Amino acid sequence: MTRKELHDEFWLLTKGILQDSKVDAEEARVLKRWLEEHRQDGSFDFAIESLGRFLTDGYIDRFESRDLIYAVGRTLEQLRTSASQP
């Protein structure tokens, strides 16, 4: 899968999850699983680490949700940037 394809697929996944401007525990598990399955050269480590840390108690509070939204945005930016490089 190319970086462009990864970006597009992740964008579609997160677009649905972030429609309500929050991330709950089930959505966090889905994101973490996708990132782990598509990990390449450590590019998703920040988001995977954040998701794992917040999922330890099985509940995502509003502050963790806000931080996860930031991590998702950062991951999308990484993918967009790397997809545009030759």
For the chain, the domains span 3-81
User: What SS3 class is residue 27?
Assistant: helix
Q: What is the pTM of this model?
A: 0.82
**In 3D, which of 25, 29, 9, 17 has the Cα closest to residue 79?**
9
CATH assignment, 3-81: 1.20.120
For the chain, percent of residues with pLDDT exceeding 70 = 99
pLDDT digits (tens, 9 = 90+) for 14-46: 988 888 989 999 999 999 999 999 887 777 888
